[in-house]
Amino acid sequence: MLPPSNSEATSIDRRNLLQTLGGGMGMLGAASMLAQPAAAATSSAGRVLHNPPKAKRVIHLFMNGGPFQCDLFDPKPMLNKFAGQRPAEADLVTERKTGNLLASPAKFKPAGNSGVPVSDLLPHLSKHIDDICVLRSMHADNPNHGPALLQMNNGTILPTRPSMGAWFLYGLGTENQNLPGYVVLCPGRPVRFSILWNSAFLPSAHQGTYINHSNLDPAKMVPYLRNEQWDRQAQRRQLDLMQKLNTAHREMRGSDPALDARMQSMETAYRMQTQANDAFDLNQESKTTRENYGSGHFANGCLLARRLVERGVRFVQLYYGNGQPWDTHSKHDESVKKLAKNIDQPTAALLGDLKQRGLLEDTLVIWGGEFGRTPTSENGNGRDHNHHGFTMWMAGGGVRGGMTYGETDDFGFKAVQDKMHVHDMHATVLHLLGLDHERLTYRYAGRDYRLTDVHGRIVQEIIA
């Protein structure tokens, strides 16, 4: 997608020309994207879309560290049968050298009306399998946490590109002007931290707002929310004055996207004073609801995610925990039982709650890590990183439930059938949101960038 031709622009002086050739070019690209026929589909924020959307919002449950697919959603009888041996399929490059096949402690049985097999480590979630599409053939490009986290979040291993949440917000706009459109929940700091939800060269208003929900007091989750020196009327007068000054600045010097984004962020921060306490206050939930979700950071995060999306937050990303809890290089079997138990009830409650409220059909829920883990052993009882084949799943938001897509080999090491790259996942999610991954672009430094770069295929087979 190219910016408007020069013939459409008004005359500008040398200063404005240089400014336009810098950061302002991206806004011209956005104007071109939105200049579509009036009959086209629009987002709930009024943005013109490329195709009719099936989803309006996204919740991403991020299992940072990388879960082992064969413990949860990808049963491999051959793995246990040949445990202790090292077949030729295991000779793949991973982050570290691994040993022989390590059996999985999980037992699988068909679940729901669809009969999709789910691990006995997830008894609550198995009851919702008819709403879930299990993606068994995911693969990525790098077995190290940093690059893999960047690719899953930003579409590339390079640390200078916008996150997918920023792209969502850029294309769709926000439904609630009193809350951020993109919220990241984590009781700590995932590896690489804020670069995973940055906006890079997109306007800064599209970056994620990080919330540490270790302490459930809204004042602690969103510090400095209240201005102790000025009341809201005085703050409003200050912002109005600054808006007038910035309007005069634009009239004299032309548009400045960075300035516009900063002012939009300040407006959002001002308005959050009225709604943030309400949105982040779990005490407003009934005792029954709190008990349905269970206890712990992940349970609280799932409930917060539901409260945020029902208030118009476009994208909520929930990291499982501080650092990389699913990174089980040792004592894997012991760790995975605790990890699975911690996510099982809250995830099931989230899906059930969204469905009961009529939100699941247009809320896309995504589950997964930055990669998977090896079917071979490390340190005797651990598993190494595996980017060759791993599992994610999606539910709601126009996705077909009660099905699996793709396959790994007999031991769960490598995707071999209907392979689905991270780029394909991003392209499919954008399509479900009403956005064409090839047309959602932003011109920066002389070229058009997009979330999927020059890759990506929409996986139509999983769309309802």
Q: What is the pLDDT of residues 342-382, one digit of tens each?
A: 999 999 999 999 999 999 999 999 999 999 999 999 999 99
Looking at residue 442, its pLDDT comes to 96
* Residue 164: pLDDT over 80: yes
Confidence of residue 32 (pLDDT cuts 50, 70, 90): very low
Q: Are 123 and 108 in contact (CB under 8 A)?
A: no
Separation between Cα atoms, residue 31 and residue 134, nearest integer Å = 37
Distance of CA 298 to the CA centre of its chain: 16
Mean pLDDT of 234-238: 72
Q: What is the pLDDT of residues 248-296, one digit of tens each?
A: 777 777 777 776 766 666 666 656 666 678 889 999 999 999 999 999 9
Confidence of residue 16 (pLDDT cuts 50, 70, 90): very low
Confidence of residue 223 (pLDDT cuts 50, 70, 90): confident
State the average pLDDT for the chain: 88
Looking at residue 231, its pLDDT comes to 73
Separation between Cα atoms, residue 347 and residue 128, nearest integer Å = 10
Looking at residue 235, its pLDDT comes to 64
> Who's near 261: CB < 8 A, 6+ residues apart?
203, 204, 205, 206
Looking at residue 5, its pLDDT comes to 34
Token pair, residue 116, equals 């999709």
* Residue 227: pLDDT over 70: no
Q: Which CATH architecture has domain 46-223+295-450?
A: 3-Layer(aba) Sandwich (3.40)
Mean pLDDT of 298-325: 97
Alpha-carbon distances of 458 from 48, 323, 334, 424, rounded to whole Å: 20, 32, 38, 6
Looking at residue 440, its pLDDT comes to 97
What is the pTM assigned to this prediction?
0.86
* Residue 20: pLDDT over 60: no
Q: What is the pLDDT of residues 34-76, one digit of tens each?
A: 444 444 688 877 788 999 999 999 999 999 999 999 999 999 9
Alpha-carbon distances of 36 from 33, 55, 116, 426, 432, rounded to whole Å: 7, 20, 42, 23, 19
* Residue 13: pLDDT over 50: no
Q: Are 303 and 290 in contact (CB under 8 A)?
A: yes
Looking at residue 281, its pLDDT comes to 93
Burial class (CB in 10 A: 0-12, 13-18, 19+), 202: buried
Q: What is the pLDDT of residues 399-457, one digit of tens each?
A: 999 999 999 999 999 999 999 999 999 999 999 999 999 999 999 999 999 999 999 99
Percent of the chain at pLDDT > 70 equals: 86
Looking at residue 14, its pLDDT comes to 39
Separation between Cα atoms, residue 312 and residue 423, nearest integer Å = 27
Separation between Cα atoms, residue 182 and residue 363, nearest integer Å = 14
Looking at residue 270, its pLDDT comes to 59
Q: Name the more confident of 332 and 191.
A: 332
Looking at residue 30, its pLDDT comes to 42
In sequence order, the β-bridge partners of residue 28 are: none
Mean pLDDT of 134-158: 97
Looking at residue 41, its pLDDT comes to 81
Closest CA to 138 of 347, 424, 437: 424
Q: What is the pLDDT of residues 118-135, one digit of tens each?
A: 999 999 999 999 999 999
Task: Give the chain as a 3 state SS string.
Answer: CCCCCHHHCCCCCHHHHHHHHHHHHHHHHHHHHHCCCCCCCECCCCCECCCCCCCCEEEEEECCCCCCHHHCCCCCHHHHHCCCCCCHHHCCCCCCCCCCECCCCCCEEEECCCCEEEECCCCCHHHHHHHEEEEEEEECCCCCHHHHHHHHHHCCCCCCCCCHHHHHHHHHCCCCCCCCCEEEECCCCECCHHHHHCCCCCCHHHCCEEECCCCCCHHHHCCCCCCCCCCHHHHHHHHHHHHHHHHHHHHHHCCCHHHHHHHHHHHHHHHHHHHHHHHHCHHHCCHHHHHHHCCCHHHHHHHHHHHHHCCCCCEEEEECCCECCCCCCCCHHHHHHHHHHHHHHHHHHHHHHHHHCCCHHHEEEEEECCCEECCECECCCECCEECCCEEEEEECCCECCCEEECEECCCCCCEEECCEEHHHHHHHHHHHCCCCCCCCCEEECCEEECCCCCCCCCCHHHEC
Phi-psi region of 193 (alpha: psi -120 to 50; beta: other; left: phi over 0): left
Looking at residue 250, its pLDDT comes to 75
Looking at residue 118, its pLDDT comes to 98
